[in-house]
Amino acid sequence: MRDQPRLGFCCKFVLDEPPGTHATLKAERDATLHMNLTSVTMAHLAKLEPADRRAKLSGLVAHNLDALARQIAWVGDRPPIERLLRMASNVLPGYTHPIAQEIYAEPEMAALVERGLAEAGALARRLGVRLSFHPGPFCLLASRNPAAIANGLSELDYHAEIFDRMGYGGGWHPHGAHINIHVGAGDPGVEGFRATLPRASRVARDLITVENDENVFGVEAVLKLADVVPIVLDLHHHWVQSGGAYLEPDHPLVGRVRESWRGVRPVAHISVSREAVSAACDPDTLPDYPALRAAGHAVRDLAAHSDMMWNRAVNDLVARHLIWADFEIEAKAKNYASMQIARHILDLERASAMAAE
């Protein structure tokens, strides 16, 4: 994991041909469903008779395990630079919920889950695909609410159990696998996070990472946890939180982030403001935060993610940072956006090689 730069998309696969090229909208939906995980509400499951509930859940789990394998196989067939995937959290719908727990405990379902996760993990390792999770906002370890902490720990351990069954439960971030979360509430903040962390499972503690956000916990704040967890640097969050600062690879903060991974190749996040902002920007110049704010763009709009990685200067920045980190591309067009930035970076490499000849 140390030497090969990787970047990739997050959670959901978008059709590898432009919308509208299929014969019907139904065919497009079916093709998208084939490649993506799906879920069900626990309220819906509760309304079903026991046999129907079991059939519904087992069908969803079988589909999700197959779809996960298809995503990993697709990523593994891409050029080496694109072999990174953030998995969707809903691999096992309702796994921690009482309405579904009895079904997951049944031998047939347990065997399905065990086999499917083991095969998916083995496939990822064979194809050199780096995997991660990014649980939702309710997976937090800093809160004054005991129920919120209990829920956060349950969610964290659920993701860790999936990774364990996939073969990533042995030690510190094996093969670069990680479960990335935010700190949580500003009160109790990083000290609350630090106090709660020992309550997570051993596997979870070996897989967890924490990223900076654009509100309370900037890079300096989350680095206070660097002695216990690796830090995921989100360059876009930092740009918003700092009012427009860009970090280059040689910045001291980057060095501290890098050290927090303890020999594992770090991962970072990148995104860019929505395309609506692009009219006020030169795509070959890094977006100017103060100028965009002065032009009337709200902070929430500047923080929101674009469909594609439209700013070539931001893509150049990622290319420079690949010397030390892999990148998850947080864009709404998912694999389209990650393929776009990968092409841009490969073009830069080819141009540099030609210039050196």
Tell me the pLDDT band of 17, cut-offs 50, 70 and 90: low
- What is the helix (H) or strand (E) element at residue 207, kind and residue range? helix 202-207
Provide the mean pLDDT of the chain: 94
Higher-confidence residue: 32 or 20? 32
Q: Which of 62, 64, 56, 130 is nearest to 91 (CA)?
A: 64
C-alpha distances (whole Å) from 164 to each of 160, 177, 213, 252, 304 are: 6, 10, 28, 34, 33
Q: Determine phi and psi for 86, rounding to 5 degrees.
A: -90, 120
Tell me the pLDDT band of 20, cut-offs 50, 70 and 90: low
pLDDT of amino acid 216: 94
Terminal-to-terminal C-alpha distance of the chain: 29
- What is the helix (H) or strand (E) element at residue 220, kind and residue range? helix 219-222
pLDDT of amino acid 49: 97
Mean pLDDT in residue range 94-107: 96
Cis-peptide, bond into residue 188, ω within 30° of zero: yes
Strands (E), the chain: 7-10, 84-87, 130-133, 178-181, 208-211, 231-234, 267-270, 326-329
Does pLDDT of 154 surpass 80?
A: yes
Q: What is the token pair recorded at 178? A: 């990680």
For 120-131, what is each residue's pLDDT tens digit?
999 999 999 999
3 state SS of 52: helix
β-partners of residue 232 are 211
Higher-confidence residue: 109 or 170? 109
User: Is-contact 124 46, C-beta < 8 A?
Assistant: no
Higher-confidence residue: 29 or 192? 192
- What is the C-alpha to C-alpha distance for residues 117 and 120, in angstroms, rounded to an integer? 5
* Region of residue 244 (phi > 0: left; psi between -120 and 50: alpha; otherwise: beta): left
Rounded to the nearest 10°, the torsion over CA 52, 53, 59, 65 is: -170
Q: Within 10 Å of residue 283's Cβ, how many Cβ atoms?
A: 13
User: Is-contact 115 164, C-beta < 8 A?
Assistant: no
Does pLDDT of 2 surpass 70?
A: no
- What is the C-alpha to C-alpha distance for residues 270 and 79, in angstroms, rounded to an integer? 20
For 301-353, what is each residue's pLDDT tens digit?
999 999 999 999 999 999 999 999 999 999 999 999 999 999 999 999 898 88
- Flag the least confident range among 27-31, 53-57, 170-174: 27-31
Does pLDDT of 1 surpass 60?
A: no
User: Is-contact 102 111, C-beta < 8 A?
Assistant: no
- What is the C-alpha to C-alpha distance for residues 155 and 140, in angstroms, rounded to an integer? 9
